[in-house]
Amino acid sequence: MYEWLNTYTLMKKRIGYLEFDLEQSEAELDRWVSGDLVNVRLTKGSIACGLERRIEEIKTELDYMKSKMDKLIELIEQFDDVESKLLKMKYIDGMTLESIAEELGYSHGHIKRLHANTMRTIRFIDSLI
Q: What is the pLDDT of residues 44-68, one digit of tens each?
A: 777 778 899 999 999 999 999 999 9
Q: Which of 17, 37, 40 is nearest to 29 (CA)?
A: 37
Span 91-122, pLDDT tens digits: 999 999 999 999 999 999 999 999 999 999 88
Indicate whether this model's pTM tops 0.75: yes
Quick one: pLDDT at residue 88? 95
Q: Write out the CATH class of domain 80-129.
A: mainly alpha
Instruction: Classify residue 18 by burial, with Cβ atoms within 10 Å: 0-12, 13-18, 19+.
Output: buried
> Where along the chain do its domains lie?
1-78, 80-129
Taking alpha carbons only, the member of 122, 98, 95, 124 closest to residue 111 is: 98
